[in-house]
């Protein structure tokens, strides 16, 4: 970051020099801000693309089953939280993405089974979502069940 010279005691600098120094300083600050903003926006765009990819995976996994609107909102929120968790834990490698995809498909399969048990063989709704959550909670109590980054909801401390 540029350091502004102390201009209070510098009688040797002309007003044009002071103006030039100020312009350069402002230009440096603007460039730094643009770079920071660009990096931030690239993170946002990548996160959004990953969320869209996971959402398409959900739709493909459902096949011919319909998705209730409340369940769709729950799943989208779950995906957003999972992508944030992946970013916070700095786990965006191809291996981590494969794990996340497989775990999302596993959760959708659990939801489909719960929908069938609930007598809704043609639709996955919020009841199916809640039943699937209860199912994985029960399973997690008995085993080291993990659907990272979707389950458990604990977020590991990042370094």
**Which region holds residue 4: left if phi is over 0, alpha if psi is between -120 and 50, else beta?**
beta
pLDDT tens-digit map of 79-91: 999 999 988 888 8
Using the structure block, give the residue that is written with the tokens 């660009």: 38
Q: Is the pLDDT of residue 53 over 70?
A: yes
pLDDT tens-digit map of 11-29: 566 777 777 777 777 777 7
pLDDT tens-digit map of 140-155: 777 776 777 777 655 4
Whole-number Cα distances in Å, 110 to 25, 44, 124, 125? 58, 30, 11, 13
Q: Is the pLDDT of residue 2 over 80?
A: no
Contact 112, 65 (CB under 8 A): yes
Phi/psi at 154 (nearest 5 deg)? -65, 140
- pLDDT average, residue stretch 32-51: 73
């Amino acid at each position: 970051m540029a350091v502004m010279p102390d201009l209070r005691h510098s009688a040797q600098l002309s007003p044009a020099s002071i103006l030039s120094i100020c312009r350069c300083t402002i230009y440096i600050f603007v460039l730094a801000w643009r770079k920071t903003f660009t990096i931030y926006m690239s993170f946002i765009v990548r996160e959004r693309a990953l969320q869209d990819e996971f959402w398409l995976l959900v739709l493909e996994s459902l096949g011919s089953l319909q998705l209730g609107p409340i369940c769709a909102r729950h799943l989208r929120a779950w995906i957003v939280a999972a992508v944030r968790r992946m970013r916070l834990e700095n786990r965006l490698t191809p291996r981590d993405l494969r794990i996340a995809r497989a775990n999302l498909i596993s959760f959708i399969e659990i939801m489909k089974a719960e929908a069938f048990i609930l007598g809704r063989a043609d639709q996955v709704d919020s009841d199916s979502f809640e039943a699937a959550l209860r199912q994985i909670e029960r399973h997690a109590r008995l085993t080291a069940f993990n659907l990272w980054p979707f389950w458990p909801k604990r977020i590991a401390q990042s370094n």
